Amino acid sequence: MIYNITLYLPLCICFLGLMYRIFRWFSISIGPDVEGESAVSRLRSAGKTMLRFFFSRRILNLLKIFFVDILLQARLFQTSKIRWLFHIILFLGFILLVFMHAMDDQITRVLFSDYESTLNPFMFLRNLSGILVLAGVLFFALRRIRQKPFQKATNRSDLAAILILSSILISGFLLEAVQIFSSPIFDEMVLEYMGTDDPEETAPLQSYWAKEYGVVFPEAVDMIQPERISAGKMIHEESCAVCHSIPTSAFVSYPISISMRSFAKTLNSIRADIWLRYFHFIICFIGLAYLPFSKFFHMISIPLNLMIRTGKFQPEEDDPNRAVKRSIGMDACTHCGLCSLHCSVMPIYLVTANPNVLPSEKLLSVKKIAYGKQPDQIGWAAVSDGSFACTDCFRCTQVCPSGIHLHDLWLASKKELKAKDHGKPDQWIRERSASQWEALFEKYSISDIAGPEDHLFRNMAPETFSACVQCTVCANVCPVVSVPGDLSAPEITPQQVMNLLRLDMKDLALGSRMVWDCMTCYQCQEHCPQGIRVTDILYELRNIGADRLKKVRLVESAAPKKAAGLDCASKGNME
């Protein structure tokens, strides 16, 4: 009764959690192109797509994906052979444990009529499955510890999943080890199958089991007399052999049992087997209840994401299910870090230490925003910097073993950032002219704020740009100047920016669109007859301007709140 209650409770939590996760697939929005779509319309569209798919030839492609990408994990094999090997080991061990151990009454006993958990090869397979899963967990844990990008990709949920799974495996091995030498279990077995607890009748069997099976009894047992051992063997073959094999095949549990023999009597006296069984079941039930809220959910989201992707590299722009696919894709991310290792802008993270540059971490931020966890202004700036640092090289999508359309998520999130006024500085700069930005810098005293971004003016001698003779060579070779655009003096040419610096009009130079339109092609710098590092100066001006633009926006965003507070205070005084 207690077992059923403790089982049904986590089952209910697991079921409700799964329903909640699935409901969120149809309710959240990522990108302005899917805003306004109701959960009902998304569910209806997904249902129609599934019906059309299952009654078409594309079902064969789905079967191919199931066997090649899900069971054999071909995408991971192409990326990393060693990771593929340990992933297969972990996957195989976990499947065997679930279907042949946790569900042995429902599956194993049906497939094998003579099944008993204490018989071979089932003991051996159970130990093999456990050690495979433990080896896989250990490999991936060490991999994250040794490689720095993965430390950023590891969160508390990941650590909790590893702790729960490790606790299940270790408690399982310990439980089996204690059961091997448990004399109370032996007494219960003898009473049930022999129908007697007479010491004289069971003494030969005790001697045989003490010698062959490693059972430790409270009193000393004779394991020397051949006649006694032979009599015990006969009783064993009549009553016990059909259900019990010698436990040496449990190549993990049996050595542990031997190592614990010195204090086995104490463990037997406190019924350690019962306490370990309770702990093992409870931790398994916790893992079951935690499944929808942890990495365990990837057992559902990854196969589903691979199947709905149907082998396509690019998502269809007119796909009516793109909102649902984005949500499932976010849940399919295991934070393995492969996308970060292959990211073309990884050097930016090494310099800025902004974790949102890393695809795996950026996806976490995008997911939090989609679920309504809005960051503060500094957090928005970090997400924006990380998102717009992306060069759309699509490497992350190509190497993702879970088949996530990461570049589609990045494009959608960038559009959403722009819609929420969290775009790039080179977009902000077009909101005002250079003189207007200069006035804002002066108004908020932004130019007086000293910081590491001001190294251009503090560490570079004025002679660096004062040598400019306004010969316009840089303007003649500049590809930005040669393209007609919405530019107006003094923002049109690089030499005019140099002239602003010579005149100590650095704030006006910072707001110049020439600084932000520069393509860093280095044509001006290579052709400058004076040897001025024009491109380097423009690039440094851009970095300084980006920092100051962020400060202006922070001040402006705080201004309405401050004004609202003053209004409330004035009303209170009037009352």
Alpha helices in 260-355 (DSSP H): 264-269, 272-290, 298-309, 322-331, 338-341, 346-352
Residue 53 has a pLDDT of 78
Could you read off the pLDDT of 237-247 as tens digits, one per residue? 888 888 888 99
Residue 149 has a pLDDT of 61
Confidence at 275, pLDDT banded by 50, 70, 90: very high
Mean pLDDT, the chain, rounded, equals 81
DSSP classification of residue 66: I
Residue 567 has pLDDT above 60, yes or no: no
* DSSP code per residue over 116-179: -TTSTTHHHHHHHHHHHHHHHHHHHHHHHHHSHHHHHH--HHHHHHHHHHHHHHHHHHHHHHHH
Cβ proximity of 285 and 10 under 8 Å: yes
Confidence at 279, pLDDT banded by 50, 70, 90: very high
Q: Would you say the pTM of this structure is higher than 0.85?
A: no
Residue 378 has a pLDDT of 76
In 10 A of CB 368, how many CB atoms? 14
Tell me whether residue 185 is exposed, middle or buried, using C-beta atoms within 10 angstroms of its C-beta: 0 to 12, 13 to 18, 19 or more: middle
What is the CATH T-level fold of the domain 320-423, as seen in this structure? Fumarate Reductase Iron-sulfur Protein; Chain B, domain 2 (1.10.1060)
Residue 556 has a pLDDT of 67
Could you read off the pLDDT of 138-189 as tens digits, one per residue? 988 887 777 666 556 667 777 888 899 999 999 999 999 999 999 999 988 8
Structure tokens at 478: 């500049």
Structure tokens at 269: 């006296």
Confidence at 448, pLDDT banded by 50, 70, 90: very low
Residue with the larger pLDDT of the pair 368 and 543: 368
Residue 123 has a pLDDT of 92
Could you read off the pLDDT of 181-221 as tens digits, one per residue? 999 999 888 888 777 777 777 888 888 998 889 999 988 88
DSSP classification of residue 102: I
Could you read off the pLDDT of 282-294 as tens digits, one per residue? 999 999 999 998 8
Query: Which of 54-58, 507-511, 567-571 comes out lowest in average pLDDT?
Result: 567-571
Residue 233 has pLDDT above 80, yes or no: yes
Beta bridge partners of 216: 182
CATH class of segment(s) 430-571: mainly alpha
Percent of the chain with pLDDT over 70: 86
Residue 488 has a pLDDT of 42
